[in-house]
A and B are shown apart, each in its own frame.
Chain A
Amino acid sequence: MLENVKDFASHFFVTGDPLIYGADVSIVLAMVAIVFVLTYFKKWGWLWTEWLTTVDHKKIGIMYLIASLAMLFRGGVDALLMRMQLAFPNVHFLESNHYNEIFTTHGTIMILFMAMPMMFAFFNIVVPLQIGARDVAFPYLNAVSFWLFFFGAMLFNISFVIGGSPNAGWLSYPPLSEIQFSPGVGENFYIWGIQISGIGSLATGINFIVTILKMRAPGMKLMKMPMFTWSVLASCITIIFAFPVLTISLALLFIDRYFGAHFFTMDGGGNPMMYVNLIWMWGHPEVYIVVLPAFGMYSEIVSTFSKKKLFGYKSMVFALISISVLSYFTWAHHFFTMGAGADVNAFFALSTMAIGIPTGVKVFNWMFTMFRGRVSITQPMLWTLAFIPCFVVGGATGVMLAVAPADYQYHNSYFLIAHFHQVLIGGVVFGYLAGLYYWWPKMFGFKLNERLGKWAFWTWQIGFYVCFMPQYALGFMGMTRRVYTYGWDMGWAPLNLVSTIGAFLMGLGFVFQVLQIVYSIKFGERDLTGDPWNGRTLEWSIPSPAPLYNFAVVPQVKAMDDWWETKQAGLKIERPHLEPIHMPKNTGIPFLMGMAWFVAGFGLTFDWTWMAVIGLVGVGASLIARSFQYDTDYYIPVDEVKRTETALGRVV
């Protein structure tokens, strides 16, 4: 009996590596600390009523943000571990399989559990405020999306200490990810972690399309929408076409692994190339899904801090939409070298280069928004200005990669690694950080400290170039990605060491940002006006942080940059006519449904059908319970709105 338990435990828990034991200990300590604090301060009820059951888009956004920052930390630690292993030739810090697990989780986490939720944080926090709405179109579904993401991410993350992490790369190409070559549970964690959160992402896409199309304040025509909202619309359209492809690809891979089918196996008529096509039909649009909202943020920030209208609005909208359409016709550039033939390669090379055109046009439009403006270099603007050169160079190397025959020399080399980090960090991460600094006062009611912010900015910037410029060169030296070790013979050592130093500088930048947030919570400049940046769009017309119902009176929109125009015309303080406000009620079902999915996913990961059945029954039960829930909304009475507004210093 004891032997059986021991045997089970040695497979169930990841063992044998001091790093993992260290992590085990810190995870247990952190959990104990959280439980202790919540109990000691009697905060369990608060946690449940204020956060776990909330359907408020702003709180859901903040939860997305916290989760994504935690995942940025996790993915960042993965990156630093990899760079330590590669700092010198023949290092024995990580063994092959451990390294393979780490690069797999690094990629998966950074795209799916860092970039996506941080993007959703901004969707949630900003879009309803920008369009003058009181919530999203489907607040309940919004909560479901969040909890599916959250429990999907948790399922993926526990693979680190339980069962073992996936190790077949962030896209899990078969046949390597098939049961024949990856018999462990790691790939199952990958499939179910992504599957569960992917359903949430799809629902968010639908939710925000409907929100943007149906919930805009009266007078806000599509062509008067703020550019960030446009970019969210473009991104969501891409989501609803791309994510079903991901779901199907992973479902087929699961069927292969669980039921022994042969969609992508080496034998039995399977064809791994089919998976590679499918996964990139999602994977390429995915990078545009995350970068388009960043483009939207840059547009808002450049315009605000140049005190000038966005240049070429129509052209920007056209560029956004053409990028989201073209993004579906470029997927095969991820495998020019898979021998699809010259005609196919020629088509995808041209379509890939073509997508560079609208992207380049956007850069010109940002530049000419600053031209004849008044550029003040605040923290959001710093990151935006850093983005332009970084993204232009990254885009140029992207065009270089699009040259199909030349790609035969770049494919899977460090040149490629440098390129996609430059566009994903320079484009997406810089954008989200710019957005974070920009909307932080709106979210929390105070600004982030400037001095620490500059330290963070410069260590990030220097770290980035020191880390990734050498990697372009390493690609030209023939170094391929995903090697856990290398020798002295190829001359790769010096540049790898430089790259590692850069990675640690970026890590230091992140530490500065954590310090900045902690410091600013206590000492940050409070935003009492609700409009700390002299903003242009509706979110700046209301107090910071926004009250539960966002707008006491739904605004009447007359112009693009309506809030700016209102201020230009001279603010008239009028006593508004208040009415009771219709709001959705909190509910615990989304949280419980997420937990049920987690149980189901865990069961499917370990082939424990009984557990999967329990989990799926739980999912079904929560769906049924919701359909019998009739008391789902309420009205905030005028008196309460008056009290809140007065407390916020507004005239009512």
Chain B
Amino acid sequence: MAEDPILSYAPAPEDRSVASVAPSYGLFVDGEFVAPEGEDHITTVNPADAEPLSTIAVATRADVDRAMAAARRASTGVWSTMPAAERGKYLFRIARVVQERSRELAVLETLDNGKPIRESRDVDLPLAAAHFFYHAGWADKLHFATPGGSPHPLGVAAQVIPWNFPLLMLAWKIAPALATGNTVVLKPAETTPLTALAFADICQEVDLPPGVVNIVTGAEETGQALVNHPDADKVAFTGSTAVGREIARSLAGRNTRLTLELGGKGANIVYDDAALDQAVEGIVGGVFFNQGHVCCAGSRLLVQESVADEVLAALKERVSLLRVGDPLDKNTDLGAINSAAQLDRIRQLTEVGTQEAADCWTAPCTLPERGYWFPPTVLSGVTQAHRIAQEEVFGPVLSVLTFRTPEEAVAKANNTAYGLSAGVWSEKSSKLAWTAERLRAGVIWANTFNKLDPASPFGGYKESGYGREGGWHGLEAYLNG
């Protein structure tokens, strides 16, 4: 955005020295950082300037075996037999240390992921700490989460998480697993491993018994070795629907518990009686939050035809105000795209959308020369038949469709293979409730969007996956009985 002559925001960069990045990292197995068996390494880069940050190990099958064995020993030896309240107290400790080290972790997350420091500071970190705090309290109250049952842990959980909310997704996986008495082997995404490795350090700091949490880094092969490991009692995966489908296939016929949190193509329905100024905010936050790298993003705007022009004009005006640039600047609204590969995918799908006759508008902003960047983009005139209305872009690209009646809005919203999230905007509460009841999606936001809370279950219908994370509903995935 061009600097304003009257009131400008001078650069307000966060101090990156608060986070220390080692030149290379090993694996975290059995309470120690260990060298990987193989020689393979991956370089993780800062997407804002494409400069290398660190080198991480690629765990081999043997490394995964070692981590799984450590998790098994910890499971039977200490974690599942410990008094539940004591397990809870470890989680409370973790929650507190995450709070205490939140500035360092926020900077690390922004460096590795490219998201604005405002978001890692105000969203990712508080939510990650809250997730541990919330689940800590469940540890000795599990019988209230499974009325009539006698809950006990499954054993060892193999967990694979994505790069869009690295530490938060780690919290979503590890907190419920530990609270329910399971031990874990977790693989962070290869482009965003740093906060998971910092978390390993936190496990040491709180004296968590060795082997309860193991972190293995690597790419696709490491992930496959982990989710297909014969000793896994539970597999939890967050990522693309394509990979989730493969995991479901490979685990088919095995008695391994599986939860999948996959892609989405969330509809954001704006009725003509909505509070339009706030609806516009919700549309913007819904799709441009975290550069649109959000599985529950409201990437399909369904706006009632009678207010479509007005909403679109206000939307473009508002999007033009987004400040795109240095993720470490406290005034940045939209940061860098996480990787070159993801940038290619966004470009490609946007290109397809434009060719398919959609009207493509991009915000007037100057993108940095180095690193991976994509401007906020609005594609209007989209119909259900367009690929851009069906495929997940996972980037700052909004498709705009219109509808005439509530029935049509619901039909269009549900006309997708996904079913993760949806938004509804109206000042009429009975219509909100009517619409929410008919939407086939796991999370419905009424007059808000992209709200997350540890107490609130999250997860999808249809090909957005199965299982829930958060609330007592999320504990079920880690318990027998």
Q: Do A and B bind each other?
A: no
Residues of A within 8 A of B (CB): none
Residues of B within 8 A of A (CB): none
